[in-house]
Amino acid sequence: MKNLKLVFTLFIGIILCIHMGNVFAQALDHPEYANSIAVGLLLLALIPKAKGVLAVEISPDISAIARFAFANKIKLLKRYYNSLSIASDITLMLNIKNSLPLPMLVINGQPRPYDGKFSATPGDISYTDRQLDMDDFQRDIQINPSLYRPTYLAYERGPGEGIKNNKIPFAEFTVQGAIDQNAAQLNNKTAFFGLGKAAFETFNPATAYLTGKRVKALNAEGIAHYYTCKIGTAAGETPYSHPLKWELSDALAVAEGLGTKIKKERASGLIKNVSSTGIITKEDAFEQALSVYRGLPEEVKDNRKDIYLYVSSNTIDKISDSFKDYIKKYTDADGVLTVLPRTEGICKLKKATWMNGSDIMLASPKANLYMGTDLLSDLQDLRTIEQMYHLDMSLKGVLGFQFGDEQAISINDQN
């Protein structure tokens, strides 16, 4: 009896798919597509449906998807985001809850001619006290599943629009999109350019802010968000009353990024290996890159095999362009420049997505640059709580960035 019911259901399904194929084909003014559409609908019907409840993007803005008819759009596309690539580009330190000391042994003094008298010099052995500190972050997302009902995606919600139907169309796909976007924000904004909360002053309604000023402002619920002034304001123009004058900068406030730490120590004089390259152009980008690498101390270049020149995508393009027609002499089989020429194969070129937008060239052993977190999986672990009419989803973790030995860093004079 069960098999007979299955055959009958399949037969009815095929008839309906053929019928709908004809309807859609006529609507598109392409009757020749009827069979293809029918087959496509049948295949979609056979795909197993996801079960369970997952939360996705912030209460969805349905204005974009509400304009489309189901016949014209039957799938959901996702933007491409950079993953947290810095975790593999530098040294990843795990299981850090709060702070990790990065003590470096420093041996001072020199040998002297023998005279048979023992005389040790105070301070011959010392340690640096650099710390890899963790800062915590969170990403809160809320969604009302019923907002999908007036859109073409309503067909993916299943039967019923009662209070128990919290099904999200393409739930797994959308959740992964939210995770990827969060990782991209941490990678592209926090990892290198992050400023930390201390760089943002509390918003003062009596102050007129100039372009570039950074503030912390509370929203109507008393939640702090962080903003950078894009256009000079008059007194009282808040990020909420005049949003076009402010840029949301929450990701910059999460932690102090690696680039920010290095630039501070370059300005203080602690990092002394600085090459004056000037503006990077496609005519001299290679020579500039070579000067940064050669700024490393000889003992670093002679003893390390994991030296990288970290640059943005735009800068690595300029380095490649500077070779013009001779580039094939230095590239691999796929035409990719992976090693900086004239470095005896020691210095590898690293296109760092987390440096995009920066003109800094940074040469250092990979083992000298650190990203810390507790569990890397924390960055993809979303907890979902079902409320009466909506779903709350949150992601939380800790991360931090630091370098070890300032003498093992060479950098140019750009930002």
Cβ-in-10-Å burial (0-12, 13-18, 19+) of 268 comes to: exposed
SS3 of residue 202 by DSSP: strand
pLDDT at position 42, please? 62
Helix intervals (H) in 271-379 = 285-294, 298-303, 313-321
pLDDT at position 385, please? 74
Cβ atoms < 10 Å from Cβ of 190? 29
Q: Which among 274, 352, 366 is positioned nearest to 316, based on CA atoms?
A: 352
Instruction: Read off the tokens for 10.
Output: 């399949």
> Rounded to an integer, what distance in angstroms lies between the CA atom of residue 314 and that of residue 293?
18
222-237 pLDDT tens trace? 999 999 999 999 999 9
Indicate left, alpha or beta for 159 from its phi (over 0: left) and psi (-120 to 50: alpha).
beta
SS3 of residue 181 by DSSP: helix
Cβ-in-10-Å burial (0-12, 13-18, 19+) of 63 comes to: exposed
pLDDT at position 230, please? 96
Band (pLDDT 50/70/90 cuts) for residue 143 is confident
127-141 pLDDT tens trace? 667 889 999 998 887
> Rounded to an integer, what distance in angstroms lies between the CA atom of residue 27 and that of residue 18?
14
Band (pLDDT 50/70/90 cuts) for residue 298 is very high
pLDDT at position 206, please? 96
Identify the residue with better confidence: 126 or 291.
Answer: 291
Tokens 């918003």, residue located? 203
DSSP β-ladder status, 135-143 and 391-403: antiparallel
42-91 pLDDT tens trace? 665 555 543 333 333 345 554 444 444 444 444 445 444 457 899 999 99
pLDDT at position 348, please? 94
Report the chain's mean pLDDT, rounded to a whole number.
79
pLDDT at position 135, please? 93
pLDDT at position 200, please? 97
86-122 pLDDT tens trace? 999 999 999 998 888 886 666 666 776 777 777 777 7
Identify the residue with better confidence: 2 or 201.
Answer: 201
> Rounded to an integer, what distance in angstroms lies between the CA atom of residue 370 and that of residue 76?
37
- Quick check: pTM over 0.85? no
pLDDT at position 188, please? 94
CB 371, CB 100: distance < 8 Å: no
Average pLDDT over residues 168-181: 70
Q: Which domains does the chain have, with CATH numbers?
A: 80-111+122-193+256-415 (3.90.1690), 201-248 (2.10.10)
pLDDT at position 331, please? 56
Opening angle at CA 226, ends 220 and 229, nearest 5: 105
> Rounded to an integer, what distance in angstroms lies between the CA atom of residue 337 and that of residue 316?
9
Helices (H) and strands (E) in the chain, counts: 9, 18
